[in-house]
Structure 1
């Protein structure tokens, strides 16, 4: 396939969500995925796409990097209509500059490149559901002061702070430059609803591993703590459908399954399914913040996800109804995901390190 045939560009195509999105999109569209070390990684990525219902004949894997101007691309891809920006560094313990270089500057590189496509229909930005509770929408078109940026990173850590800053930067860029955008904000993403397959362990997957190995004596939060989930195959179908409807332009779409049980009930259900003992205690968040990480085994960055908040999914739900998308049953999906994690000894499938989304 040639660059002049490509209709869709996807950054982060080697990551967890990106892989499923490539498989979904290549059912009907010609797609390019800029990645580092493209020659070494193209065959494995094509094999994944074919194995998951896509068509690798419609996939062009090219050398590229979001940390470079113009995404490091040598071709112009003049016929691209939709640009999906999924690339990010996803891990706890990142350095601030490392996180900003990919997650903030890389997002602006992707937005600038998208704006230069003469036939652009939509720039689809992948955010996160916690952004909907950080005042992001109300201040999205205002520049961050250095003091506000420092506070953001102190409060959330490098990964989450950089994602918040990235969202603000992209929204401001879009407002100033006239970029037609949609932001999709998923919750914690688990494996395929049909098979449980995943390539990511960071977050909830690590908690399941601790439970399986008998190393989860307590949870953090309360009986009302809500850690919503969404399956990767549903999210991929949702993302693929977004540019098809003009009504989704300039919208923030929060994608999560409202039927996800509250965290203690979710973990008790997983424990019963895996035939393990559930945690005996639920420790208050304030107490855990005061204790050393070495004692609790909980990274401070992960505590920003421990909340009782509700999330407005009405816009995303309306879009799903309009295109005929139905979320798979969450309980069965969680069980299949847990079974997959156990069967694979909590290792990601080959081709992507556990717990990191692709930077490509």
Structure 2
């Protein structure tokens, strides 16, 4: 089986490639294959994969038709991980990469008859949140997207719009679509390896740097997590399995509440865990003050992912059992992520002077 993947050089993508190259050839869509492919192969080998099974094709989510060659051989499945992530992302940029780019990937899958494994996000299963944003219809043409972008910010809004538009395209064309909906990504379940762009890294950094005197929200609020290696394994079987549910919620329901998460991390980091809570509306008001997001290393858009809502993972649980996949214990994953962060901090004396 030959698989095409976007976002292969990203944190999740590298782990997915390491999982899949044990048994499959991977064609990675890269902007600069000559320089990116050798580095990606090394990273995949370091993660236990077989980097020599990786090839590359030049392409870009921002280009019409992804900038791919016309004679591209049809892949059996396409994994779409590529996305543009940043807080305060402007709507035009977010839409071009995350919405138009996703639709171009979906059209490529439709044209070649490939399964599309589309990576969206867990908040698509939070109906109350979607309604607050103004998403009350499965028809993308019935949504006031301008209002959604204003309320959610460019990154989250574009990911929501992309998922809903790709679903509509799939329904209209009989596209074989599997949507994987990851929670916030934690580190590797054994090594704790964590990407510095991940929100969990910022949370650990704030805790270690003394910027978290209180836990955001209430005792009911939590930040759902998934270990990166477990997520990669789920994506791999979603791409290669015979019978796969249309949606897979990649979220550990046993993730502790936010205060519990911080307590585990604080114990590992040798810090004092927050004992009191700061209501989300109060924190959101503080973050509207000029300069406060940068000072607090917390962005208003990130607060949307800290929710009291719990999720039904029964369908995903059944699929995991069928595939013989088990979730690693999340408390151990949090501790491993904190240990990795601690070592990272020691290795960056210029960023973290004593």
Q: TM-score, normalised by structure 2?
A: 0.90
Q: CA 1:304–1:347 in structure 2 vs 1: closer, same or farther (change >3 Å)?
A: farther
**CA deviation after TM superposition for structure 1 residue 213, in Å:** 1.6
Q: Deviations over 1:211-246 (max 9, x none)?
A: 112222222210110211111101111110113444
Partner of 1:3: none
Q: CA 1:45–1:346 in structure 2 vs 1: closer, same or farther (change >3 Å)?
A: farther
Report if aligned partners of 1:91, 1:202 keep a CA contact under 8 Å in 2: no
Q: Deviations over 1:58-111 (max 9, x none)?
A: 110221112223321126333410100010011211111111111000000100
Q: Deviations over 1:181-223 (max 9, x none)?
A: 0100010111111111122433121010111122222222101
Deviates further, 157-166 or 129-138 = 129-138
Unaligned 5+ segments in structure 2 are 349-354
* Structure 2 Cα separation of the partners of residues 318 and 347 of structure 1: 41
Partner of 1:303: 303
Report if aligned partners of 2:253, 2:310 keep a CA contact under 8 Å in 1: no
* Structure 1 Cα separation of the partners of residues 91 and 81 of structure 2: 19
Of residues 1, 4, 9 in structure 1, which corresponds to 2:4? 9
Listed as ranges, the matches of 1:148-297 within 5 Å are 148-249=144-245, 251-291=246-286, 292-293=288-289, 294-295=291-292, 297=296
Partner of 2:117: 124
1:87 aligns with 2:82: yes
* Structure 2 Cα separation of the partners of residues 173 and 282 of structure 1: 43
Tell me, what secondary structure is at the counterpart of 1:214? coil
Greater RCO between the two (CA within 8 Å, min separation 6)? 1
Q: CA 1:74–1:254 in structure 2 vs 1: closer, same or farther (change >3 Å)?
A: same
Q: CA 1:78–1:44 in structure 2 vs 1: closer, same or farther (change >3 Å)?
A: same
Report if aligned partners of 2:184, 2:225 keep a CA contact under 8 Å in 1: yes
Report if aligned partners of 2:61, 2:97 keep a CA contact under 8 Å in 1: yes
Unaligned 5+ segments in structure 1 are 1-5, 349-360
Report if aligned partners of 1:16, 1:200 keep a CA contact under 8 Å in 2: no
1:312 aligns with 2:312: yes
Q: CA 1:301–1:54 in structure 2 vs 1: closer, same or farther (change >3 Å)?
A: same
Partner of 2:352: none
1:53 aligns with 2:51: no
Count of residues in Structure 1 that have an aligned counterpart in Structure 2:
338
Tell me, what secondary structure is at the counterpart of 1:144? helix
Partner of 2:325: 325
Listed as ranges, the matches of 1:1-150 within 5 Å are 7-74=2-69, 76-118=71-113, 120=114, 122-134=115-127, 135=130, 139-140=137-138, 142-145=139-142, 148-150=144-146
